[in-house]
Amino acid sequence: MFVRTESFKEFIRFYPIVSALVIIHFVLWLLISVLHFGFAVQLYQQGLGVNLLISQGEYWRLITPVFLHAGFAHALFNSFSLVLFGPALEQMLGKTKFILLYLFAGFAGNLGTYIASPESYTAHLGASGAIFGLFGVYIFMVFFRKHLIDQANAQIITVIFILGAVMTFLQANINVLGHIFGFLGGLAAAPIVLRNVQGFSLSQIRSRSSSPGGFSFNPNRHSRRNRSLKTAGRYLFWGLIIFLVAIYVFSNFL
């Protein structure tokens, strides 16, 4: 479920919320860091998570940091994570539940950061708290909604979550509380957003059908070709994960 086989156009059509979030990440980065548009720079300054300013009534800063990033690498890594782990949940929950979950987890991460140090003037930003909220939903399924996720995908998501949690404490300049409270926000929201999700599991999600609003669940069709693609996809997926983990680890020593 984490291997993407859609074309670019299909991805945008099938997962409009994930696509829109990724576009926002890079458009804002382009306007702020590359083109230095005045209104975009001002938006950046007004949107950063600054606890002292939140305590003075600028409560929008509990949400706006979710859409801002410190540079291209920051935006790329979070967008890559969102493209990997967002589509299955957007397909399962639907657009409305998914965006509400994402924003709530991001809000929870920023709120936890604020509560821990309301007088701090240190800025924090990024979508990682919201993305850890998605992990919160997945981990809830692994332990409490086992029928919604097969064993193989449960193992993958558990390993990746553990790696992400470890790197949270090892990597410099990480908002540790944002990750922790974002995860807890997703974990708390999981029973609500999954309440009526009983008709299919993540292991059944293969691709969207061409009919409006439909799903196509036919794992036996072209089984030999599907097995080959699945095997190649696993190697590609784990190769990318190892590559990204290596970059993150070695960046500590540069």
Q: Which residues are known catalytic residues?
A: 128, 179
- pLDDT the model gives residue 201: 53
What is the rounded average pLDDT of the residues 170-176? 85
Per the domain annotation, does 154 fall within a domain? yes
| Averaged pLDDT score across all residues of the chain | 83
Per the domain annotation, does 2 fall within a domain? no
pLDDT surpassing 80 at residue 236: no
pLDDT surpassing 90 at residue 252: no
Per the domain annotation, does 3 fall within a domain? no
pLDDT surpassing 70 at residue 244: no
236 vs 34: which has the higher pLDDT: 34
For residue 239, give Cα distances in angstroms to 86, 149, 152, 232, 245: 19, 23, 17, 10, 10
Amino acid making up residue 79 = S
C-alpha–C-alpha distance, residues 4 and 8, integer Å: 10
Percent of the chain with pLDDT over 90: 56
Which residue in the block uniquely carries the two structure tokens 């936890």? 112
- pLDDT the model gives residue 143: 94
What CATH number has the domain bearing residue 229?
Answer: 1.20.1540.10
Q: What are phi and psi of 123, to 5 degrees?
A: -85, 145
- pLDDT the model gives residue 168: 85
> Model-level pTM?
0.81
Read off the pLDDT of residues 146-162 as tens digits, 9 standing for 90 and up: 989 988 889 889 988 99
How many domains does the chain contain in total? 1
Per the domain annotation, does 40 fall within a domain? yes
DSSP state of 56: T
Report which secondary-structure segment, H or E, holds 248. Answer: helix 223-251
Most confident of 146-150, 164-168, 175-179, 234-238: 175-179
Per the domain annotation, does 37 fall within a domain? yes
Read off the pLDDT of residues 61-88 as tens digits, 9 standing for 90 and up: 999 999 999 989 899 989 989 998 999 9
Alpha-helix residue ranges (DSSP H) falling in 94-222: 95-116, 128-144, 151-170, 176-193
Per the domain annotation, does 1 fall within a domain? no
Per the domain annotation, does 156 fall within a domain? yes
Read off the pLDDT of residues 195-216 as tens digits, 9 standing for 90 and up: 988 544 555 554 444 333 333 3
DSSP state of 212: T
Domain that residue 156 falls in: 8-251
- pLDDT the model gives residue 218: 37
What is the rounded average pLDDT of the residues 172-188? 94
